[in-house]
């Protein structure tokens, strides 16, 4: 894989990085992930060429999609979505409850992609930030409109590693080399005090942090990113070597990359090998997506929906 950003080609409001495909080692070489996430064994994967968006889809990108199609997101149809407690911008009466095991998540009436903190917020205040409060199903609808698709989990990790073998993070093995914050994650005592040393309490504008060595931004932190695959912690033990697509069925879809809420005291899933999952109709204030443009016909995956399980 090249070690300098290759030529980018324009897409539907997005820039794409052409990736050559090839073989890489997928999984956690340090054996430091959560056992239930199934980050091991490390295994060889061979991928066909593809083009991945340099950034996640932004609020402005998603607004163009909504204007063109009239799409209503799952959060809008359900009437609420999950908002981090310090990001709430709505009357307290809009709070319908808290997640039982993760009480920093509030279920907020009127929270959706256009109102990320609740009714008193607007996407127009941050058009260049990642769109959030979008479900897997919403992301798939955007892909159908834009002629793109979601990356497979293997494609996501291959692109994030950018040709480097066995790294923890896109830039190396140290989280803050020379004291520099190179991604948007939680700094301080989670979940009540954030030092804001990286500049952001919640999302950062796309491209706010340095790209990896092929020109992809925020592959660690900022927002979780939906992948095409169903999730199974046992999948790596039987994953095919060539272009794996994930299990044939499941209850939740893979999410990758971590978010602004990840902290090693609770969730160190901003590592390149880290995996998590959520149900396809779920939406939260820290999950978005980026898209792939194929050289061959797009990969088609089945759909499903179950219950909400917010990630960190």
Q: Domain locations in the chain?
A: 8-57+131-292
Q: Which tens digit of pLDDT belongs to each residue from 17-45?
A: 999 999 999 999 999 999 999 999 999 99
Phi, psi of 104 (to 5 degrees): -75, -10
Of the pLDDT bands very low, low, confident and very high (cuts 50, 70, 90), residue 1 is low
Residue 164: Cβ within 10 Å count:
17
Instruction: Give me the mean pLDDT over the 53-64 stretch.
Output: 97
pTM of the model: 0.92
Q: What is the mean pLDDT of residues 81-87?
A: 98
DSSP assignment of 68-90 equals HH----HHHHHTEEEEEGGG--S
Cα separation, 219 vs 152, whole angstroms: 14
* 8-57+131-292: in CATH 3.40.50.620: no
CA distance to 4, 228, 256, 280, 287, per residue, from 302 (Å): 36, 9, 19, 11, 20
């Amino acid at each position: 894989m090249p070690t300098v950003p290759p030529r980018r080609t324009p897409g539907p409001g997005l820039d794409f990085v052409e990736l050559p495909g090839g073989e890489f080692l997928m999984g956690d070489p340090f054996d430091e992930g959560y056992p239930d996430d199934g980050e091991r064994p490390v295994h060889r994967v061979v991928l066909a060429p593809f083009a991945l968006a340099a950034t996640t889809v932004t609020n402005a990108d998603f607004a163009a999609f909504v204007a063109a199609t009239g799409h209503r997101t799952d959060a809008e149809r359900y009437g609420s979505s999950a908002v981090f407690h310090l990001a709430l911008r709505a009357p307290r009466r809009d709070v319908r409850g808290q997640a039982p095991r993760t009480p920093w998540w509030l279920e907020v009436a009127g929270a959706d992609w256009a109102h990320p903190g609740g009714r008193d917020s607007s996407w127009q205040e941050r058009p260049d930030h990642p769109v959030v409060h979008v479900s897997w199903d919403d992301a798939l609808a955007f892909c159908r409109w834009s002629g793109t698709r979601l990356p497979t989990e293997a494609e996501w990790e291959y692109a994030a590693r950018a040709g480097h073998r066995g790294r923890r993070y896109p830039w190396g093995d140290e989280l803050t080399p020379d004291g520099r914050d190179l991604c948007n994650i939680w700094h301080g005592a989670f979940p009540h005090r954030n030092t804001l040393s990286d500049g952001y309490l919640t999302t950062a504008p796309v491209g706010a942090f340095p790209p990896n060595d092929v020109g992809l931004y925020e592959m660690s932190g900022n927002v979780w990113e939906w992948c095409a695959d169903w999730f199974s912690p046992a999948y790596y033990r039987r994953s095919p070597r060539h272009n794996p697509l994930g299990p044939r069925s499941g209850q939740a879809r893979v999410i990758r990359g971590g978010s602004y809420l990840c902290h090693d005291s609770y969730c160190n899933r901003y590592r390149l090998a880290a995996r998590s999952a959520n149900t396809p109709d779920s939406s939260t204030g820290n999950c978005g997506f980026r898209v792939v443009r194929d050289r061959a016909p797009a990969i088609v995956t089945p759909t499903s929906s179950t219950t909400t399980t917010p990630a960190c």
